Structure 1
């Protein structure tokens, strides 16, 4: 645990607070002081703490009750209780409620130093274990796919329906929309979840090596084949093989891939016998495969074999209402501190709504990671990259609509216009939503729905 941990000292005696603060700051910790439990809880409403040192006996709310409330607000926060009396009953109660340890005054300075260090180390382990458990759970759930929008609910429903079958699935969507996450969700919700999930980016493999990568090879089948080697189909036996960027597979290999889908068997390069392929195929592409079929660069029969069920991943600009949820998700993923209160300012969120995100969810994830790495406990507009905070959707002159030479994203343009009108209506009506709805000629229910669409409904 870093010595820059945040610690809150709670004691009604000023001399004790000062003594502990000087001692802990001397060890490199950041320290705040509270003279009562009520003030300590106010601190927790504004900030987060890695550890609390609290007296048991204080006027008003007692130390045991404070401990209980802290554990409800921030379970990972380490708590060390201090008392001027040797009270075994209180010690037992404190330990039951989750206190790390219990000290009686007078105590030795070195004893405090050692206990604080050990408590923070234990907290660090608990936080890391929690992160690991959440990462494991993410593999086996939809949690990797984040979003509450209608478009994402449709994706979740379709994945849930198709997961139990053996049907081939084709996932379509722009780069950065989460196609591999969708493929993993299909696998981990299927009866094959205990078997391997093997992913390969077909666009990253040279054409000359792709057949060997997929089907394996035998010793001596080509220069450099010094031993037999299992391909990806064998590695995924009993599980799922995810073929990302399937549109990059050359035509000759498409024919061999089609045979595997039809016959459920294949041969290694240089092999004389066929091997069974008990593998479910999930393919993905950010290209228009139907257009490739018309152009003759993708086999029509392979397309229909793969396209038994199609899952279309929406771009981020098609689900802007998910931006606040995604920001929170990625912030918690990358932050090394416990988040409390707002993690992004309204004007920063407005900049994100305004930006088209050509890199989709992946670009937003990288943006949040950048902010966290630069130490932003609250994401502000000033902390965003210039390309995001300075982006402006071209606005037409008054009473005139036009399309810029470079074109425009119609949905993003309309969403931005709608959001600005909602904000203006609220400003004109002093924040009274019913009056704002009337000003825009819509029902209150419809107005609330549109606010929620852009993450602007705080009720």
Structure 2
């Protein structure tokens, strides 16, 4: 069959919460790819630097939760003020998790400042150091998966998700597991296979099938 070239006109928008220059120095991100993407860089300030956005984000996440079957709440003026003064070490994701928790756990339509204060104190103890989602220190992998599945099923508003859930969940877990192991071993497949308890050929096959791509650390001169 003949191949006909088709002209395209696209723009690539890429986002990250990592320091790519640091990753380049560690050999974990391609320098040439960085310069291909770094045409018009935009820095989005941390939530603590734009506290005036908190009320709008709260309304957005309540509305988003309502579309997934959660109850919409109001937060008192005092509660909003507390949230605007909070430093949000987990950034916007921490705020989203808080709003979802308020919608799921509290029966009252208006959330008081006392509740917000208690929740934020809990959040200060629960945020992981790298600014990730709110998780208890003793949360097991099984509990984390259960939490994800509860949200996943709720997103279908009473209906069931598409069939093939078992394989989809395994694939969801397998990719970050292999990626984390390869990253921790700086792309060393022998060490990663040993870490995972897999045969090296099995790991190589999974890397290819999953599309895991970790660049080895640059050699020192």
Which structure is higher in strand share?
Answer: 1
Alignment TM-score, normalising by the size of structure 2: 0.43
| Larger helix proportion of the pair | 2
